[in-house]
Amino acid sequence: MQLFRDVIDECGFIDLGFIGSQFIWQKHFVDGHSIWERLDRGFANNDLFMQFARAKIHHLSFNASDHCPLWIIPDGMEIPSITKPFKVEEMWLSDRGCSNVVEAVWTSHGEAEPSIKVIKKIKTKKCGKELQEWNCKHFRNVRRELEKKIVEGG
């Protein structure tokens, strides 16, 4: 155990503390005595600690094991939202409105430097956003309608 403590010190790890019961592991013996310990811990180095100083580790109650689960809330950490990737639908290409949207986005004015204009339009995903808006207005929910027709047998 002392070697483990030495590694923690050597790496400069900081115990993140906890919220909840002080002991997360227990062992009860037939003779009546018990051992209660806090075995599981959350550690961070100084850089990580400074970045997520508001992170919280909760000791949860759990009766199906002799260990309590840890619930770590990385408060301050940005969790990316999951979005579906943009995809061009083949049916859009049969409609002149699709090419009108693309043309409008790519010919819109902005930066004078052509390369900057292209990079900016790609980074902001402007064309994809405009096409998705156009799709919602023009085609609405074609897939949902098709699925409904299939289910209805029509």
Give residue-wise pLDDT tens across range 29-55: 999 999 988 878 888 888 888 888 788
Q: What is the pTM of this model?
A: 0.41
Domain-located, residue 67 = yes
Cβ atoms of 58 and 79 closer than 8 Å = no
Cβ atoms of 71 and 41 closer than 8 Å = no
Domain-located, residue 83 = no
Q: Which H or E run includes 58? A: strand 56-59
68 plus 8 within the same structural domain: yes
Domain-located, residue 79 = no
Highest mean pLDDT pick, 83-87, 107-111, 122-126, 132-136: 132-136
Determine the structural domain holding residue 124 and report its residue range: 90-152
Question: For residue 121, how many C-alpha atoms fall within 13 Å in the half-sphere facing its CB?
Answer: 19
Q: What is the largest CA-CA distance in the chain?
A: 84
Q: Is the pLDDT of residue 75 over 90?
A: no
Domain-located, residue 61 = yes
pLDDT score, position 78 = 57
Averaged pLDDT score across all residues of the chain: 80
148 plus 122 within the same structural domain: yes
The total number of residues shown for the chain amounts to 154
Q: Which among 39, 73, 107 is the end of a domain? A: 73
Provide the pLDDT confidence category of residue 112 given band limits of 50, 70 and 90.
Answer: low
23 plus 49 within the same structural domain: yes
7 plus 67 within the same structural domain: yes
